[in-house]
Copies of this chain bind each other. A is one copy, B any other.
């Protein structure tokens, strides 16, 4: 893994510093930090205060927030509540993960049930592989149905200077990649990596004090499914995705067809497919067709992973939803460079904690 020379706190403080600088602000009322693995990888808790302090901030609220692999989105949601409640004029949602400090596999698996799933050797990979097999069986499909998701992500990452894997791949590469947990292959999985990101929220009426190109956080919602896949009535329905998306659409009073692009949680290709269906962009059993038919590509009906996604951009857990928020900001403000979509007025962000257990949906607009 490419190791960041900075420490966890330096990475976090740098991201916070950059957003403060961009906003021309030297203080904020609150900072919510998303980090999932510092207990194990850095032997560090209490990271929000640590990083706020390292960034030179004082007299602010600084709290740690988590939702397993959706942790970055949880930080964003807390900043949203902080501003929406009137308790903060300026709030930062920051995320940081330094996966290169150790072997994160055991700690990551703790997103699963420690009494039943972990002792049975299950991991996020094995649980997602199970869902993928269920899907293939339920809809009588072959493995290659999923391959176009990785191809799209890699194609989009080529022109993103911040992406981890900036090279195109073809369907054959995906189909011939290592079988890591049948039926899942290496290219169905996003790589974990080091990363940090931060965004700043202010009340809509004041946002122009801090940027000439504010975007609106139109809706924020979260829901859960049964914790364990085996307890779910409809594991392929990705219920928490559907419920949180429905809440978000209701809050913003818009419909799925009003969404121009979707930053999905493509930690595993099966999740992209299920989320497209759960959010109402495809019929049940048809999500993979959107990938096959090019609907998810830039210029398609619903571009996804427009800057490379978790698959090619990388998945630094606590930072992931926050770099995705930055990318949505770029798309909505016409500053996405070679990756700029022609139509980008409404962007959807969804983040998945565990194997579909906790899902947060955020909706952004110009």
Contacts and interface: CB of A to CB of B under 8 A. Distances in A.
A349 interface: no
Contacts of A49: 67-68, 224, 227, 353-354, 357-358
B40 A39 contact: yes
A63 interface: yes
Given A39-B40, A45-B36, A64-B66, A223 B81 contact: no
Contact of A39 (B53, B110, B118): B110
Interface residues on A, range: 35 or more
Contacts of A42: 114
Interface in A18-74: 30, 36, 39-40, 42-46, 48-50, 52-54, 58-68, 74
A201 interface: no
Interface stretch (A83-91, A169-177, A185-193, A256-264): A83-91
A42 B40 CA distance: 13
A222 B354 CA distance: 30
A81 B74 contact: no
Give the copy number: 2
A46 B111 contact: yes
Given A63-B67, A66-B66, A85-B85, A358 B53 contact: no
A78 interface: yes
A179 interface: no
The residue in A43, A223, A231 that gathers the most chain B C-beta atoms within 10 A of its C-beta is A43
Contact of A63 (B48, B65, B115): B65
Given A49-B357, A78-B78, A86-B84, A60 B110 contact: no
Nearest to A35: B66
Given A48-B67, A59-B223, 5 more contacts: A7-B115, A39-B40, A49-B68, A63-B65, A84-B85
23 contacts: A7-B115, A39-B110, A44-B113, A45-B110, A45-B111, A46-B67, A46-B110, A46-B111, A49-B67, A54-B227, A58-B224, A58-B226, A60-B223, A61-B221, A62-B224, A63-B65, A64-B66, A66-B66, A81-B81, A81-B85, A84-B85, A84-B87, A87-B220
Interface of A: 7, 9, 30, 36, 39-40, 42-46, 48-50, 52-54, 58-68, 74, 77-78, 80-82, 84-87, 107, 110-115, 118, 220-227, 231, 243, 353-354, 357-358
